Amino acid sequence: MTDLVYVLNGPNLNLLGVREPDIYGHDTLDDIAGALEDRARELGLTIDMRQSNHEGHLVDWLHEAQAHDARAVLLNAAAFTHTSVAIHDAIKAIRTPVIEVHLSNPHTREAFRHVSFVGRAAKGSIAGFGALSYQLALEAAARF
């Protein structure tokens, strides 16, 4: 196992900071990445942070995380959380632990967000703490 942690982000997260800031906050994905890189260095970890609006990219990157013997994957699959059997199956297919991450708490939102295909396959989930959710997930990953 390496000290590499993949941080994968799904659709529309490239719009953080301007997209529904009352739900997702004012931090951009670059802001989150910068803070996460700083904390990763303190923990002796390296992060590889990526974002895509395409489901297949996330599946490919999950496979890549295992191929590179990553310590963990922090995955904010965004809307794919609630729809993607392909991402669920990719998580189940790899041995790399996956931590589900959400800025908001899906359980306090619309009913369709209460189902998580990612959560059913992930080692654990952290949600509802805004940008801090990523930091908390990284802390968990450091303990694997």
Q: What is the mean pLDDT of residues 44-63?
A: 98
Tell me: is residue 104 an annotated ligand-binding position.
Answer: yes
Residue 117 · residue 88 · CB < 8 Å: yes
pLDDT at 16 over 80: yes
Measured CA to CA, the distance from residue 86 to residue 97 in angstroms comes to: 17
**Residue 31 labeled ligand binder:** no
Average pLDDT over residues 85-109: 92
- Is pLDDT of 108 > 70? no
Residue 22 has pLDDT above 80, yes or no: no
Average of per-residue pLDDT across 99-121: 82
| Whole-number pLDDT of residue 113 | 63
For the segment 74-90, the average pLDDT, to the nearest whole number, is 96
Q: Into how many domains does the chain fold?
A: 1
Is 76 annotated among the ligand-binding residues? Answer: yes
Is 82 annotated in some ligand binding site? Answer: yes
Q: Is a pLDDT exceeding 70 seen at residue 112?
A: no
pLDDT of residue 19: 77
d(CA 28, CA 49): 13
Among all residues, which ones are annotated catalytic?
24, 102
103 annotated binding-site participant: yes
Question: pTM of the predicted model, to two decimals?
Answer: 0.93
Strand partners, 32: none
Q: Which segments of the chain does DSSP mark as H helices, in order?
A: 21-24, 29-42, 55-67, 85-93, 117-121, 132-142
Domain span at 86: 4-142
Mean pLDDT of 15-21: 81
Predicted local confidence at residue 140, as pLDDT: 98
Q: What is the CATH number of the domain that holds 116?
A: 3.40.50.9100
Integer Cα distance of 57 and 135 in angstroms = 23
Maximum alpha-carbon separation in the chain: 39
The pLDDT confidence band at residue 70, using thresholds 50, 70 and 90, is very high
Mean model confidence pLDDT for the chain: 93
